[in-house]
Structure 1
Amino acid sequence: MKSFPFYMVNAFGIGPQSGNPAGVCILDEWLSTKELQGMAQQLNLPETAFVIPAKNETWSIRWFSVIKEIELCGHATLAAAHCIFEHRYKNESNQLSFRSKGGLLNSRKHEDGTIEILLPTIPLSAGILSANLVEGLGAYPAGVWMGNNYLCLFDSSGNLKSLQPDFPTLLSLKGGQGIIATAVDDSGEYDFISRYFAPGIGINEDHATGSAHCMLVPFWSKKLGKVKLFAQQASPRGGRFWCEDLNEFVSLRGYADLFLSGELTF
């Protein structure tokens, strides 16, 4: 058995006990996929990031939910960057990169304490409003688009917040990892709000989903005619994002707060 440094971080939070919890485990070499999945299942967090240091401020990263490996996870990337910048791995630079299966992800720490990550934009196409989608959401969206998730537009933030999904029905949907529900923020505090449902990866409703904004940011940037956007994820814990549409990438900036640290023995 070996011990590894471990951190639990709340990412994209609005205050105490908000944002999305992520595990961050610092490895010195890759374990098998089975071992990494077993560790993530034991931790029982929405996602756990496993990182290994490399050269020139570049780290290798993989993400796991409790049931499967994830292709891209924004909040766990933000959490990993926070741990590297603030804890035992701090260096003079305020920039670093993560090498993932999907490519290179850049991160930067700002003077106000926020951390910025760049994620690849995910293109959208018109989707189909199926009976299962309507039944699963319990409401009719005003429009549906497809990328790696379903994106469902609602006509008011009140309707969005009142959704009570039927998760077994949503689980039956094909063609997307999860379902993004979004609306303009009627209060005017944010440009848009969203919720994210992903029972297929073991998360009925996620707290603050960076990867969903790979679709949301270009969608709302085009719809509102703005490059810079301020967004809220209207989950029970709540999440907050400063966003920018950079064409091929989206910039997401937010706060990360350490909740606990220790060692993981496996």
Structure 2
Amino acid sequence: MHNLPLYQVDAFTDTLFGGNPAAVVPVPEFPSDKLMQRIAAENNLSETAFVVIRGKGKFDIRWFTPTTEVRLCGHATLAAAHVLYRSGGQDLDKLRFKTKLAGTIVVSPDTDEGGYTLSFPADKPRKIKSSKKIRGALAGLKPQAVYEGTDDLIVVLKDQSQVESLSPNHHVIAKLKHRGLTVTAPGDKVDFVSRCFYPALGIQEDPVTGSAHTALAPLWAKELKKKKLTARQLSPRGGRLYCEVRGKKVRISGQAITYLAGQILLDRL
């Protein structure tokens, strides 16, 4: 079996050891699902992205947590774009990533800021009633509002300090019938802040979650009556995102920096 290249990239940051680390594995064709899952478990990062080059600027992409494949991942797509662009794609003005279930994600290098802008389908969450289980997940904290997105439950809290101090019940979150739980509130120095929890996927708290902002940006754009928003994810590593709602699309911008480049030695299997 051939060895595979492996990159580890810190996404939604311009500083090593910040943002959200993702593994990127370029492959000539996707390996078996079993092997990709084993590689993702071995990497033990929130996401490992596998990328197949299909043509100039055209790619297929799939994402795996340590325990399962997911429908959509923003930070690992940003990491993949960073690797591909820095590995010889500097002449490309757009990179198109075809996914299994989330359509095509378009990424454009932002040469002025040294980052990248990702264009996603907007996920406009619907308001639902709170429940005893949701309050249990929040360790008894009272939500201001609760929304249901395509993947996650979203709970709006009173202010940034409530988001920062929250100690959620991961056992209850893991039993919710959703990918995970996002908590959010107006920010002190940005438009909104958030934290994201995915214990059912093997991720207690995700450092920075691009996919969650495909729902958070439309929610706060409507609430704040503005299309361009600044966001901060308040995990210990932290990350900054710039969001813009354009009709049925959400544009999310951020930077990335490569931490590691190496090989997966599959010839030993």
Superposition TM-score, scaled by structure 2 size: 0.95
Q: Which residue in 2 is equivalent to 1:248?
A: 248
8 Å contact from structure 1 (residues 14, 238) kept in 2: no
Map of 1:17-32 to 2, 5 A cutoff?
A: 17-32=17-32
Q: CA deviation at 1:14?
A: 5.7
8 Å contact from structure 1 (residues 7, 83) kept in 2: yes
Does residue 136 in structure 1 map to residue 120 in structure 2?
A: no
Q: How many residue pairs end up in the alignment?
A: 262
- Alpha-carbon separation, structure 1, partners of 2:252 and 2:181: 20
- Could you report, residue by residue, the CA deviation over 1:113-148 in whole angstroms, capped at 9, with x for unpaired residues? 011111111121122311121111121111101012
Map of 1:28-47 to 2, 5 A cutoff?
A: 28-47=28-47
Q: Which residue in 1 is equivalent to 2:152?
A: 149
Q: Which residue in 2 is equivalent to 1:95?
A: 94
One-letter amino acid matched to 2:175: S
- Two-structure CA RMSD over aligned residues (Å): 1.1
SS at 1:190 equivalent: coil
Misfit runs of 4+, over 6 Å: none
- Alpha-carbon separation, structure 2, partners of 1:236 and 1:91: 33
Q: CA deviation at 1:94?
A: 2.8
Q: CA deviation at 1:91?
A: 4.1
- Alpha-carbon separation, structure 2, partners of 1:146 and 1:172: 15
SS at 1:141 equivalent: coil
- Alpha-carbon separation, structure 2, partners of 1:35 and 1:251: 32
Unaligned runs of 5+ in 1: none
- Alpha-carbon separation, structure 1, partners of 2:15 and 2:30: 34
8 Å contact from structure 2 (residues 14, 256) kept in 1: no
One-letter amino acid matched to 2:94: Q
- Alpha-carbon separation, structure 1, partners of 2:218 and 2:90: 33
- Alpha-carbon separation, structure 2, partners of 1:192 and 1:14: 20
- Alpha-carbon separation, structure 2, partners of 1:159 and 1:14: 27
One-letter amino acid matched to 1:183: A
Does residue 50 in structure 1 map to residue 50 in structure 2?
A: yes
Q: Which stretch shifts more, 60-69 or 133-142?
A: 133-142
Map of 1:52-201 to 2, 5 A cutoff?
A: 52-87=52-87, 89-101=88-100, 102-111=102-111, 112-138=113-139, 139-147=141-149, 148-174=151-177, 176-185=178-187, 187=188, 189-201=189-201
- Alpha-carbon separation, structure 2, partners of 1:73 and 1:146: 18
Superposition TM-score, scaled by structure 1 size: 0.96
Identical pairs, percent: 37
